[in-house]
Each structure stands twice: as C-alpha cells, then as structure tokens.
Amino acid sequence: MPVEDNTREIESTIVTDLRERMSYGSYLGLDTLLASQHPRSEPEHHDELLFIIQHQTTELWLKLVIHELDDARRLLAADDLGAALKRIARVKHIQEVLTQQWSVLATLTPTEYAQFRGALANASGFQSAQYRLVEFALGNKHERMLKVFESSPDDHAALAAELERPSLYDEFLRHLARRGHAVPTAVLERDVRKAHVYSEELVPVFQRIYEGADDNWRAYETCEELVDLEDNFQFWRFRHLRTVTRTIGRKTGTGGSSGVDFLQRALDLTFFPELYAVRTRIEE
C-alpha cells in the first residue's frame, strides 16, 4: 500500500547533529570541489558549466587510473599477478565510464560551443598532465612532451619521473621472464624512456602462452586483460575524435594542434603490438 503522505520516516538512529562530527560533505571536501567550477565567458554561457564538469570529472577518474596502474606495476614487480589483475580490472571499468562520458559532452552543439570557446584561450586537453601520465604508464612515452609542462614544475617533475619508470607492459614482460618464458634480452634491457616498439622475437613467447593456455592460465589471462585495456583506450580516443568532429568540425584546436587530424593520428598508436600480432600466428 502507498504511504499516505508519500514520505519516509527518518529513523531515530540516524545521526542528525553533525556540528562536531565528520560529515559527508567534509569527508569529500565538497566545499572546495563544488566551488571549483569557474566559467570564463562573459556573460556566462549556460553550457560552459557542462564543459568544465566534463573535464574535471575526467581528471578525477584519471587520478584513480594512475593510482591503480602505479599499484599494478608494483604488484607485477612482486610477482603478485592476481592482485595486479584486480587493479587492471578496475581500470577497465573506469575506462568504460570515461568513454560513456563523451555522450554527455556530445549534447553540446557547434553553435553552443562557439559562444564560449573563445574563453578557453589556449587551454586544451592536450595539456592534461594526468592523461600523459596514463599514456606513459601504459608505454606510449614521448620525452618531447615534457616541454608542454615546463611552466608547471610539479607536472613536469611527475612526467619526468614516469619517463624513467618501467611501463605496465615492461613489468609484465619482466614477470614472464622470471616465470621462465623466453622474453628476448633486448626487450628486457630496452631503454624504458622510449616508447615500446614492436619486437618480432617477442611474438613466439605469446604464441606459446596462447597455444598452451591451460598450462599458462594466469599469463594468458593477463594478456587478454592488457588487450582489453588497449581496446578501451582506443574506444576512448575514437569517441573523443567523433565528439570533437561533431562539435568543431576541422577547426584548429585551442592548444594549437590541427584538431581532428591530430586526434586521428593517435588511433595509429599502440601499447601492446605483439598481443595483436600473435593472433595471426595462433595455429588452428
């Protein structure tokens, strides 16, 4: 039966006096978080808040992705593959949320965006230090990218440190070598400051893992988890490309890039090329 006044009684045990207690808002720092949206358009355009919140929430999720990838690498280095896979699984779910978020920004029409785009000046997602940290952690390193962050010492230092650190793929390959897989020495001793490039000698290692999955189940499972990570990252890139295309067409990016053409070229970048190449080699 419906409640007569359509309300729910507050239970007597619920804490209502929070003057000297930790509250939901204070725990989450909501005073700061919800006061951090500062539209720059004059007069303020209605849709600029959407643009700001879209990018701020993306940065919050990227912070968590970095947190999980950092620990996944630590766990791989300690040969704790099960726990590392849990971290990777969480990253995959975050990636799905990030990709779905583009559908919200895609409600911004070209006419609406044009009315406040000038207020961004040279601000651009290309300048996201956290996005670069994620790319570096997954292996797509580019030392010249650090120049973009010279005006932000903390970001520059974080990226410089990440440049020196083995990527997630590097740590997985080292784990495989410690487990007796014939990972080429050249791959294990490569310069981790550089982006990983395709190694023909590494493909047979993965072929043996895939064709002997029953005997190499955890390694096999990790290979597929990494493929999921890369696929998700490419889906995110593609949705970014399509959202930009429908919002600004082929205009130059606010940060000075060629816009859509620049984003299109990112789709050719790969983190784990051998995990895709091995599919052609697997015996039927």
Q: Residues annotated as binding site for heme?
A: 240
Binding residues: 51-55, 113, 117, 240, 254
Q: Which bin fits 71, alpha (ψ -120 to 50), beta or left (φ > 0)?
A: alpha
Between CA 106 and CA 188 the distance in angstroms is 43
57 CB burial (10 A radius; 0-12, 13-18, 19+) = middle
Instruction: Please enumerate in sequence order all residues whose Cβ is within 8 A of that of 67, keeping only pairs 6 or more positions apart, or say none.
Output: none
DSSP 213-258: TTTSHHHHHHHHHHHHHHHHHHHHHHHHHHHHHHHHTTPPPTTSS-
Binding residues for substrate: 51-55, 113, 117, 254
Instruction: Please enumerate in sequence order all residues whose Cβ is within 8 A of that of 32, keeping only pairs 6 or more positions apart, or say none.
Output: none
Total length of the chain: 284
Structure-block tokens of residue 212 = 């002997």
- Torsion sign (Cα): 225, 228, 234, 238: negative
Instruction: Please enumerate in sequence order all residues whose Cβ is within 8 A of that of 143, keeping only pairs 6 or more positions apart, or say none.
Output: 163, 193
